[in-house]
A and B are shown apart, each in its own frame.
Chain A
Amino acid sequence: MNIIETRGLKKDYALGTTTVHALRGIDLAIEKGDFLSIVGPSGSGKTTLLNIIGCIDFATEGSVRVGDRDITSLSDRQITDIRLHKIGFIFQTFNLIPVLNAIENVEFPLLLMKNHSKMDVKKKAEQLLDAVGLGEYIKHKPAELSGGQRQRVAIARALVTKPDIILADEPTANLDSVTGASILDAMREMNKREHTTFIFSTHDANVLKYASHVVKIKDGLVTKE
């Protein structure tokens, strides 16, 4: 069963008087529970593709189906709901809320959902932070954590709502190789345990060995699946 399908996905950017064609017609089908890596050189369109799949950017042309919904015609409110309930994000630069500590950052999406008790929220956040090896750092603010620890918090935050899909844009780019490997191990572990679909972009060949499928992109087109 495909959890994500794109058809003829195009994305153009206006750059002064010229138009940059970031995506030139991407057809992609990703199965539920996949651990998929999107690879390609810088400027190939990896991040743009992830952003559109993750409902934080819009396609110029083509369609994107997430689960059973075509997201290209949804309102901002509906799109936000999809981001909250269906998708988890892990950004390259960790992107945690600076004024909240580790556990509060993880709790944040659950509190936005408003359908969990405070005890439940706290328990889930603690469990996930334990799972990513940060049980002792739950009260630490992002500024008091290392890059790897922050990325683990981001993984825990992405997983806490039990989304169908987790999108990770170069999650190891700002980490040393050992930390990067441990992050990928953690992601893989979650993928196996929760059957969550992981889609991550990278241009690091060492990362590819973790992926169950690899999609290669060049100049806005899929060159190999």
Chain B
Amino acid sequence: MNLITKIAWRNIMRHRGKSLIIGAILFVGALIMTMGNGVISGMDAGLQKTIVHSFTGDIVLISDKQESDNVFFEFLGKAVAPIYNFSDIKKVLEKQPYVERALPAGKNMAMVLNEEGGTPGNAFLLGVDVKKYRSMFPGNCKVIDGQMVGDNEHGALVPAEARKEFQAYTNIWFMPEGTTLDSSRLPKEVKPDYASLIPKTNAVLMGFNEDNSTTDIRLGIKGIIQYRALNSLWGRFIVIDIESYRRCLGYFAAADKIAIPASDQKLFTMADENLDAMFSSESLMVHNTAKKGLKPVSAHKTAAAPSPAAVDVDAGAYNMVFVLLKSGEDEASSIKKLNAVLKEQKLGVRAVSWKRALGPVGSMATIIKGALFVFVMFLFFVAIIIIVNTLSMAAIERTTEIGMMRAVGAKKGFISIMFLAETAMLSFVFGGAGILCGIAGVNVLALCGWTSDNDMVQLLFGGDTFHPLLTSVDIGLSIVQLAIVTLIAVVYPTKVAQSITPLDAVTRD
């Protein structure tokens, strides 16, 4: 056995009491650190699953004209700038190897009018192609009453949370089309108000248009939905079909797209300053070759909204595009790459992370994660102080031994390595045991499957279920953290030991 290892091991055994104190601190520290890493990692994975894979994707594309990156929860629900060129954006996204898929969506605030004359409510509208939305975020919500909005269908999916809020403020009780008020199907907390409920199977939504006007639409309620998690946050998002959304917000809808005959397209290509040409007989004055009795041809759009199936839905306005990255792709670098391409292609949109798009909610997740990390680091800071103190005391107590070693020719480096070896052995044995117990603890906690309805707790859990998770990277991180703690803890005691001279040993005697 190497001389240093031998001395270190025997010193550990000789000073069992101190070794046990340091070992216990390292054990508890490593245990908490490993479990903390498990919670943080589980929270990260949970948030990925709950938010990224259920609501926003990894990246959100928003218009360059949009001032704030926070497009979901901006104070007072300020309008989100529209995007009119999704067809072009889609082509670019399809070429990016790191992009798994993308979904355009409209998102803005709308008033939910009270036809009984009372105070109107408000809600966020999420205008999407419902089928594609369900495909992009499978399982993010379930229908608890009624049904999903079908293909080529106009309609709304009202979250149970929003329904409860409207009922509390206006007594309006939203129900799916084709159903009647049935007290036996009401939630327990609503049953006492049964007599005063105003049942509604459709909602009148008033959207605020870009030109400061408003548009009201009446939309049938197809179903009542419940999100898988974070209902107090997402429960205010009413999902409606994209074409209804556009009409409500006064946007250019896909149905508004008209075909311009080739002969009329000359009007768009004429030079503005050539007034003579504009009023020339070739452009406006045409020979009427139509036979008498035929109806005149009109290039005007029809006012009636056709079925979405008949139009190119992507041609209309959106407010954002949710982008899901391929598994293993780094979010930050993907945003960088994507922004470079979007800028180069002059598409007028920018990519932001889901956290930035969520504003304070995204920050809250980061803050909770940061707080947990700080807590774990604080524990280690305390552990370091105790270990430093104990080791320094041990160094001073061993003045005679260390001084004598120096007297017979041991260099300062030998003393440093000896101290490091002692602490490293304790770290390896006790810290290693702490990490192993932490791994076991994380697995036990994961098996417990604790759930919560509280949104703050759900943010901490990263979803509705507490599912701490340890990857090999996390375990590696725990080992690295333990090694760092060991190194930091040994620096000062080593300095103390190095400062011991042979003379100290002699004079102590």
Contacts and interface: CB of A to CB of B under 8 A. Distances in A.
A45 B410 CA distance: 26
Contact of A98 (B6, B14, B506): B14
Nearest to A105: B408
A40 interface: no
A80 B411 contact: yes
A93 B503 CA distance: 14
Given A47-B506, A111-B3, A83 B408 contact: yes
B11 A56 contact: no
A80 B7 contact: no
Interface in B272-309: none
B406 interface: yes
B10 A100 contact: yes
B501 interface: yes
B14 A109 contact: no
Contacts of A35: none
Contacts of B404: 91, 95-97
A179 interface: no
Contacts of A157: 408
A1 interface: no
Contacts of B409: 80-81, 83-85, 109, 112-113, 161
A224 interface: no
Interface string A86-114: 00110111011111100010001101110
Contacts, number: 69
Interface string A155-197: 0010001000000010000000000000000000000000000
Contacts of A47: 506
Contact of B406 (A80, A88, A91, A93): A80
A57 B405 CA distance: 15
A154 B323 CA distance: 76
Interface string B475-488: 00000000000000
Given A56-B501, A92-B509, A99-B14, A77 B408 contact: no
A56 B503 contact: yes
B407 interface: yes
A117 to B, nearest CB: 14
Interface in B214-233: none
B3 A108 contact: yes
A76 interface: yes
A72 interface: no
Interface string B379-412: 0000000000000000000001100111111111
Contacts of B6: 100, 104
B503 A112 contact: no
B159 interface: no
Contacts of A161: 409
Nearest to B408: A109
A51 interface: yes
A91 B410 CA distance: 17
A97 B509 contact: no
Residue picked from B405, B407, B414, B509, most chain A C-beta under 10 Å: B407
A51 B506 contact: yes
A85 B408 CA distance: 9
A56 B14 contact: no
B411 A91 contact: no
Given A76-B412, A81-B409, A112-B410, A51 B503 contact: yes
Contacts of A100: 6-7, 10
Contacts of A83: 406-409, 502
A59 B259 CA distance: 104
Residue picked from B408, B414, B503, B505, most chain A C-beta under 10 Å: B408
Interface in A121-165: 157, 161
A96 B400 CA distance: 9
A37 B300 CA distance: 124
A54 to B, nearest CB: 8
Contacts of A98: 14, 401
A109 B333 CA distance: 57
Contacts of A51: 503, 506
Contacts of B509: 91-93, 95
A56 B506 contact: yes
A83 B407 CA distance: 7
Residue picked from A84, A157, A161, most chain B C-beta under 10 Å: A84
Interface in A13-61: 47, 51, 54, 56-57
Nearest to B3: A111
Interface of A: 47, 51, 54, 56-57, 76-77, 80-81, 83-85, 88-89, 91-93, 95-100, 104, 108-109, 111-113, 157, 161, 169
Interface of B: 3, 6-7, 10-11, 14, 400-401, 404-412, 414, 501-503, 505-506, 509
26 contacts: A51-B506, A54-B407, A56-B407, A56-B506, A57-B503, A76-B412, A80-B411, A81-B409, A84-B408, A85-B409, A88-B408, A89-B407, A91-B506, A95-B400, A95-B404, A95-B505, A95-B509, A97-B401, A99-B7, A100-B6, A108-B3, A108-B405, A108-B408, A112-B408, A112-B409, A161-B409
